[in-house]
Amino acid sequence: MKTLLIIILVLVVIAGAVYVGTKFFGLAKDQDKDGIPDKVEDAVDDVKATAKEVKRRAKRVKEEVQDVVEELKEAVDQAKDVGQAVKGKPRRGRKPGTKR
């Protein structure tokens, strides 16, 4: 029981030393005095900006993949038409309009 109290006392002393060192001696720069060191705030801002950029890029990649899928479907349809043309079957689709 005494060792537990000694461990808690040591942790409280360390926490107090960190608090005094950061608040009164300025060991961690804090321009806006909100209790959060500026390095931590900058790191969080960088992570948020990076996450926003990743989301934007993921959205663009998703759009491109959808475009590629549509084009591949169209290419498969055209390949089928080429195969039928080689066999001698008539052209499918819209008939060409008459010239005026």
- Residue ranges per domain, the chain? 34-83
Neighbours of 38 (CB within 10 A): 13
Q: Given a cut of 80, is residue 15 above it in pLDDT?
A: yes
pLDDT score at 7: 95
| Cβ pair 62, 54 in contact under 8 A | no
**Number of separate helices (H) and strands (E) present in the chain:** 2, 0
Q: Given a cut of 70, is residue 26 above it in pLDDT?
A: no
How far apart CA 93 and CA 80 sit, in angstroms, is: 13
Residue 32 phi/psi, 5° resolution? -95, 5
pLDDT score at 82: 81
pLDDT score at 70: 95
How far apart CA 73 and CA 66 sit, in angstroms, is: 11
Between 82 and 14, residue with greater pLDDT: 14
pLDDT score at 100: 65
CA 68 to chain centre: 22
Q: Average pLDDT of 75-87?
A: 83
pLDDT score at 67: 95
